[in-house]
Amino acid sequence: MLEILYHGADLLVINKPPNISLLADRSGAPNLWDEIKTSSKVSKPYLVHRLDKGTSGVLLVALNQQTQTALTKAFRQHRVGKFYIAWVTGSLDLAGSGHIELPLKKGRKSRYRVAGQRADIVCRNRRWRLEPQTDAGYPSHTVLRSLVHRCDRSLVLLKPTTGRTHQLRVHLAWIGHPVMGDSLYGKPQSIEQSAPRLQLHCRKLVVPGWGRFLALPKDGWLDA
């Protein structure tokens, strides 16, 4: 059953569960879009933004084309505040906010990568960048802050100010702290990265004209 955070005349907000695709794919597996139409009695939902199959959290669904247009424009203009939480491997202890400014490009087999070499990534004053700088790839920026740090893993708060595909997962993997449970990035076969699911959750969206929408993971991994 869907966890509905808000249901108005123009907008539906849900807490997306993990391990289900938003839209139908070639596998024929159940998808969230069909469940939305059935559970909320919405005959024609309109897509606004996406979350990866493994990612849980706040998801907006427009209920008419006018709302879809307005919200899509807000996302495109980076006016929607997006905040994620994630367990990552290793001890990531930041005294203040960090910034990952690594451009992305498409890689092989539906993966994405940094548009440069790992050896060229440097971190100064909690800011990860490529040196020398490059014009290749798509500019991508993630703000992060440590919430909990242990010797083997850390809980981080993430704010992507750009919206590239797999941005958070690629950025964290390339600075040496991949998301736990990520089967695409980092060293997914390692014991350190092993987890029952992708430990990435959209915690909060701040939407102009609508306010804040918050959700916690339903499966308890936040306190693991």
Q: What is the pLDDT of residue 174?
A: 97
The mean pLDDT of 117-129, rounded to a whole number, is: 96
The mean pLDDT of 55-62, rounded to a whole number, is: 97
Residue 168: pLDDT above 90? yes
Residue 149: pLDDT above 80? yes
The mean pLDDT of 93-115, rounded to a whole number, is: 93
Mean residue pLDDT of the chain comes to: 94
3-state secondary structure the chain: CCEEEEECCCEEEEEECCCCECCCCCCCCCEHHHHHHHHCCCCCCEECCCCCCCCEEEEEEECCHHHHHHHHHHHHCCCCEEEEEEEEECCCCCCCCEEEECCEEECCCCCEEECCCHHHEEEECCEEEECCCCCCCECCCEEEEEEEECCCEEEEEEEECCCCCCHHHHHHHHCCCCECCCCCCCCCCCCCCCCCCCCEEEEEEEECCCEEEECCCCCCHHHC
List pLDDT tens digits, range 64-86: 999 999 999 999 999 999 999 99
Q: Please give the domain boundaries of the chain with CATH numbers for all domains.
A: 3-81+202-218 (3.30.2350.10), 85-174 (3.30.2350.10)
Q: What is the pLDDT of residue 109?
A: 83
pLDDT category, 224, cuts 50, 70, 90?
A: low
Pairing of strands 200-207, 56-62: parallel
